[in-house]
Structures are given as C-alpha cells and as structure tokens.
C-alpha cells in the first residue's frame, strides 16, 4: 500500500475511477487514526498532551491500493475535492429498476387475501 500526499492521492483516485468506468469497482474507506503506535499514544496520555487524530483514507480497485492521511486543518479542502471527483464519476452508475408502488401494493393485498382464505 502506498501512502501518498492528499493531492497525488486525489489524482490517482481519479485515474482509478476512469479505469473502472466500463467495468469494475473502486472501494474507498475512511478511518480515524493517530498514526502512532499504542506505546507512543500511552506516553502522550500520561504526559497530558493531546493526540492529534487524522483521517486515514484508503482506495482500491482490487489490483492497486493507495492511501493518504488528512489532518483536521486540511479536511475541508480535501472533502470538497473528493466530493467533486465523486460527482464527476457517478455517471457510470446504473439506475435501479423500481416497481410501481400501486402495483406492489395491489400485489401484496391480493396475497394477504389469499392467505386469509
């Protein structure tokens, strides 16, 4: 797994979405992380210092995995850029077929009538 800076991460994420436009998926996970070992965190707690938590973001297309870490200061800018990328690549999604509510209600009503008999 490659830990990138936020801007190269967004560029690579864009290329992952473009490669998977016709076929494939991209999975993105977000997780709170301090990026320090447990021993270091315990030392900071006993010293009374506050721990700066960061957001660890990972993305994979099944073949390649990339990740980045975003601090609280950069979070707003990163989130706005990430949202723009998502909106631009949502066009490849397939629209789900839904049944008519009236037909579904009529079908369910007739099943209940048959079961009661």
Q: CATH number of the domain that 87 lies in?
A: 3.30.720.10
**Between 61 and 53, the higher pLDDT residue:** 61
Containing structural domain, residue 29? 2-116
pLDDT at 111 over 60: no
Report the pLDDT value the prediction gives residue 46, as an integer from 0 to 100: 75
Which DSSP symbol is given to 93?
S
Count of domains forming the chain:
1
Report the pLDDT value the prediction gives residue 47, as an integer from 0 to 100: 74
Task: Identify which of 83, 102, 103 has the alpha carbon closest to the alpha carbon of residue 30.
Answer: 83
Distances (CA, A) of 53 to 5, 32, 46: 16, 7, 17
The pTM assigned to this predicted structure is 0.69
């Amino acid at each position: 797994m490659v830990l990138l800076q936020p801007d190269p991460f967004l560029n690579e994420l864009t290329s992952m979405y473009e490669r998977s436009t016709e076929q494939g998926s991209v999975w993105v996970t977000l997780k709170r992380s301090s990026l320090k070992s447990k021993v270091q965190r315990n030392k900071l707690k006993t010293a009374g210092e506050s721990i700066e938590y960061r957001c660890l973001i990972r993305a994979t297309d099944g073949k390649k995995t990339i990740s980045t870490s975003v601090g609280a200061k950069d979070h707003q800018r990163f989130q706005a850029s990430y949202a723009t990328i998502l909106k631009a690549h949502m066009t490849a999604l397939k629209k789900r077929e839904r049944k008519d509510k009236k037909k579904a209600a009529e079908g369910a009503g007739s099943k209940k009538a048959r079961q009661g008999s």
